[in-house]
């Protein structure tokens, strides 16, 4: 009996198994949700068993042997969140489901971690009946989930149990001069917009850009990425109306590995959208030590501090003037860049990893 007990006591403890929600990698690969998911995968520790759930039956190359793809087939996001992902978690005996989407299963057995990477924290959802039902279910599931939130931001008004973690960005985003691929034909100097593609935000940006483009647009064009095909078509039709078609470059969908170089080589980042708490444009701009022009609102102010010109969302002309300032006033830009580098220098990957693992172990 003593031998059996000793053998049982000394048996190796199974590694904790985490199933990551891979939906954004396939359906919104340049979004904050996808980019923060890539960060989580890059920072996943060796003693965790890392599974990546994918909804189209096609594996994704993760450049890491420690990540195992788990495949399913569905093209409906609500079905994926409420039925398929929980079923995969149960089949794989996952200890946790971890998603960067702002939704969780109402009835899944595995506990869920939600890293809120969406720039829209409201519950407005889709206008279709099916979309509203799916959004309501996902929102209801949040009440059973653990919401992971950056410690440098004020608490959100979200259901669920809130747990704060140190801020973090993907380790590839840092000050440097990695070269983007030549096929993108990026100008030597450019301003970068990497946003949601919300049409009202795009129109505001174009209106502000008209104030700036006349004086700086030829030498410092506005490069735009992260837009889906609908947003690109919308912009292509509107650019001539604003007479800025020669100073705006719409990038095609790019491989995520090239994003750090695109940030590192820009002159400054322009961001008139609400911020994503994790994985968004402002995080990446700070990590790369870039000057920022953004709208003044609570989350943005908390995140960027003195590293940005913050302009009222209603003052489109002032936003354009701020863009001109970061280009022509080198001392002002360098001051913002120094503030960005100082702010992101406090983000420690190890602290994030240790606290996330501790949270999962406590359950």
Residue listed under structure tokens 């064009």: 221
24 with 149, same domain: the answer is yes
Q: Check residue 11 and give its pLDDT.
A: 43
How confident is the prediction for the chain on average, in pLDDT? Answer: 90
Do residues 230 and 145 share a domain? no
User: How many domains does the chain fold into?
Assistant: 2
Beta bridge partners of 359: none
Q: Are residues 163 and 244 in the same domain?
A: no
The three state secondary structure string of 183-232 is: HHCCCCCCEEEECCCCHHHHHHHHHHHHHHHHHHCCCCCEEEECCCHHHH
pLDDT surpassing 90 at residue 251: yes
Residue 6 in any domain: the answer is no
Task: Tell me, yes or no, whether 352 and 341 share the same domain.
Answer: no
- Of the pLDDT bands very low, low, confident and very high (cuts 50, 70, 90), residue 83 is very high
174 in a domain, yes or no? no
In Å, how far from its chain's centre is CA 84?
23
Can you read off the two tokens belonging to residue 308?
Answer: 């940005």
Is the per-residue pLDDT at 3 higher than 60?
A: no
User: Given pLDDT bands bounded at 50, 70 and 90, which one contains residue 130?
Assistant: low
Count of residues making up the chain = 363
pLDDT higher than threshold 80 for residue 157: yes
- pLDDT at residue 4 in the model: 35
Sign (positive or negative) of CA dihedral 259, 228, 276, 335: positive
pLDDT digits (tens, 9 = 90+) for 259-287: 999 999 999 999 999 999 999 999 999 99
User: Do residues 34 and 142 both lie within one domain?
Assistant: yes
Domain holding 21, by residue range, is 14-168+348-362
| Residue 240 pLDDT exceeds 90 | yes
Do 136 and 214 reside in the same domain of the chain? no
Residue 7 has pLDDT above 50, yes or no: no
> Does residue 291 belong to any structural domain of this protein?
yes
Question: In sequence order, what are the beta bridge partners of 295?
Answer: 311
Q: Are both 161 and 20 inside the same structural domain? A: yes
**Confidence category of residue 81, pLDDT binned at 50, 70, 90:** very high
Q: Is residue 160 part of a domain?
A: yes
Q: Is the residue at 81 inside a domain?
A: yes
Same domain, 119 and 145: yes
Selected residue with higher pLDDT from 134 and 29? 29
Of the spans 60-64, 72-76, 356-360, which averages the highest pLDDT? 356-360
Q: Is residue 252 part of a domain?
A: yes
Examine the domain organization and report whether 336 and 187 are in the same domain. Answer: yes
Task: Say which range, 38-42, 141-145, 148-152, 168-172, has the weakest mean pLDDT.
Answer: 141-145
Q: Are residues 160 and 237 in the same domain?
A: no
What value, to the nearest 5°, has the Cα angle with vertex 169 and ends 228 and 33?
35
Q: DSSP per residue over 2-56, as a string?
A: HHHHHHHHTSPPPPEEEEEE-HHHHH-TTSHHHHHHHHHHHH--TTEEEEEEETB
Flag whether 137 is in a domain: yes
State the Cα–Cα distance between residues 260 and 279, nearest whole angstrom: 12
Measured between alpha carbons, how far is 219 from 186 in angstroms, rounded to an integer? 12
Say if residue 73's pLDDT is above 90. no
- Cβ atoms of 112 and 104 within 8 Å: the answer is yes
Q: What is the mean pLDDT of residues 196-225?
A: 94
Q: Is residue 161 part of a domain?
A: yes
Rounded (5°) CA angle 192-349-293: 25
- CB-count exposure of residue 89 (10 Å: 0-12, 13-18, 19+): buried
> Is a pLDDT exceeding 60 seen at residue 5?
no
What pLDDT is attached to residue 63?
Answer: 66
Same-domain check for residues 219 and 321: yes
Is residue 252 located within the same domain as residue 126? no
Q: Are 52 and 62 in contact (CB under 8 A)?
A: yes
Q: What is the CATH number of the domain that holds 279?
A: 3.40.50.2000
**Longest CA span, the chain:** 86
User: Tell me, what's the pLDDT at 182?
Assistant: 86
């Amino acid at each position: 009996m003593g031998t059996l007990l000793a053998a049982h006591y000394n048996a190796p403890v199974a590694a904790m198994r985490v199933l990551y929600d891979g939906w954004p990698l396939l359906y919104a690969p340049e979004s904050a949700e996808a980019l923060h998911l890539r960060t989580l995968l890059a920072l996943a520790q060796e003693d965790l068993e890392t599974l990546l759930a994918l909804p189209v039956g096609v594996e994704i190359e993760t450049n890491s042997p420690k990540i195992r793809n788990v495949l399913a087939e569905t093209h409906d996001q609500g079905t994926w969140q409420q039925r398929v992902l929980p079923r995969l978690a149960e089949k794989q005996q996952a200890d946790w489901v971890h998603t960067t989407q702002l939704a969780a299963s109402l009835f899944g057995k595995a506990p869920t971690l939600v890293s809120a990477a969406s720039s829209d924290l409201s519950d407005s959802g889709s206008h279709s009946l099916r979309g509203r039902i799916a959004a309501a279910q996902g929102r209801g599931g949040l009440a059973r989930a653990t919401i992971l939130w950056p410690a440098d931001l004020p608490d959100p008004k979200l259901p669920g149990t809130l747990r704060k973690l140190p801020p973090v960005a993907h380790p590839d985003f840092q000050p440097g001069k990695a070269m983007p691929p030549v096929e993108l034909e990026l100008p030597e100097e450019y301003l970068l917009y990497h946003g949601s593609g919300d049409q009202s935000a795009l129109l505001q940006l174009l209106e502000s850009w008209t104030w700036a483009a006349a004086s700086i647009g030829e030498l410092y064009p506005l490069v735009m990425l992260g837009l889906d095909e609908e947003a690109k078509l919308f912009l292509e039709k509107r650019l001539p109306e604003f007479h800025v078609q020669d100073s705006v470059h719409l990038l095609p969908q790019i491989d995520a590995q090239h994003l750090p170089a695109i940030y590192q080589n820009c002159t400054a980042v322009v961001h008139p959208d609400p911020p994503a708490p994790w994985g968004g444009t402002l995080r990446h701009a700070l990590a790369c030590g870039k000057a920022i022009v953004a709208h003044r609102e609570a989350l943005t102010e908390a995140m960027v501090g003195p590293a940005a010109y913050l302009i009222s969302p209603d003052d489109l002309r002032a936003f354009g003037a701020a863009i001109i300032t970061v280009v022509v006033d080198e001392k002002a830009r360098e001051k913002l860049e120094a503030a960005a580098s100082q702010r992101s220098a406090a983000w420690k990957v190890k602290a994030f990893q240790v606290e996330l693992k501790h949270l999962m172990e406590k359950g």
